Chains A and B, each alone.
Chain A
């Protein structure tokens, strides 16, 4: 398959729905008043999050607008390979985010990258292959983003739990090793608990679907004009994809990260907790 990048900026700009963009941007500006109110509350209550809210809103708006423009061009290309390259990029960025959040833990990036990519991309690929989701960017990229995002959360949780457990419960791990356990056996309980904990927020949302809240994908589709029944089906589909990818990701990452925590002599390399 040939990859063609036949891009015309003028044509691209002319194709944008300026009337709807203009209307929504007024709504956005009005919403900034709510943000200003929030900043005032923050100052009044001494929460100290005012600056973060301002910077976060500016940076977030720019990032998400760039993403939106990028998505418009990707959707227009209708090329599955490019769509999966975009998902790969999202996976790499997710692994980078895990490393940034866990910068005190060595090897977080190299452990999380294969887990996020293998789990995220394989679940998306199989879903496309089986016809669970339509072969168009408008579906694959947002749903892929949710799958990868949840795999990213799972990665952070598994790595953080395994590391902190190795520090706090050092004697338990070394007792297991002293009995001849391999690193996987010595950590099996921690790994299982971490994966369960990683799935828990979504399991809670799953259990309360439609009663307590209308989740992100369904809300988005309804706002976008889709029929609520169709949106409801997609919501359950995406939950199943998220659970599958996050679980696969958790198992891959735990195995990868064990190689960072132990050497080939099964000696624990994690330093003890500093008192």
Chain B
């Protein structure tokens, strides 16, 4: 892990409809690091991830990706290099393979032999899943396909928003195992938002708590 900061929040304040969600928020995600972000419901944890990929803009302060303000990046390029996997893993129509292909197509990226197999393996799913209808998968499987779909874009940073909040115990363990495997096998920087402090600690030693 290097000391180069990939993602940085500097005194960021966020408000919705004039109501302040948080102020003076600071965070640094270093290259190759995994950080957990926890806090009570409504404290703005998910908003931090949305700010990172410029889906919303802060009221004040700065969000930097590779030392450049996120709003100066071309939006599609920013979101390819730093992919957010939302809390509700939405699947597009068609099979798992269609979903993976769609992610490549929007960036005009070429498919390389064995690529789908590799990303599915990273999230502990086997190749048979490629032909399954994405909408029919269980919550935990959808979550893992959503992470695989993000990995396909070869991002520098992966942002995971409550990856197990809507899952039962068995599915939670499977997703946790997949994320742990991913952290081990890749050199990705990962920022995980979860309301569960214990879970955050299972993924990483550095946990930031929001109030």
Contacts and interface: CB of A to CB of B under 8 A. Distances in A.
B106 A181 contact: yes
A266 B80 CA distance: 14
A100 interface: no
Chain B CB within 10 Å, residue with most, of A174, A180, A267: A180
A266 B75 contact: yes
Contacts of B103: 179
A264 to B, nearest CB: 8
A180 B55 contact: no
Contacts, number: 60
Contacts of A268: 55
Contacts of B146: 175
Contact of A267 (B54, B106, B150): B54
Interface residues of A, number: 18
A45 interface: no
Interface in B78-136: 78-80, 83-86, 88-90, 92-93, 103, 106-107
B153 A171 contact: no
A180 B76 contact: yes
Interface string A167-182: 0010110111111111
A265 interface: yes
A175 B90 contact: yes
Contact of A266 (B76, B92, B153): B76
B93 A189 contact: yes
Nearest to B71: A265
Contacts of A179: 79-80, 83, 103, 106, 149-150, 153
A175 B99 CA distance: 12
A51 interface: no
A185 interface: yes
B71 A178 contact: no
Contacts of A182: 75-76, 106
A265 B106 contact: no
A232 B59 CA distance: 63
B76 A181 contact: yes
Given A171-B86, A265-B71, A180 B57 contact: no
Given A177-B79, A180-B83, A265-B57, 4 more contacts: A174-B55, A175-B90, A265-B54, A266-B75
7 contacts: A169-B90, A171-B88, A180-B76, A180-B78, A182-B76, A267-B54, A267-B56
- The 9 A-B pairs of least Cβ separation, nearest first, read A180-B79, A180-B80, A178-B84, A175-B90, A266-B75, A172-B90, A180-B76, A171-B88, A181-B106
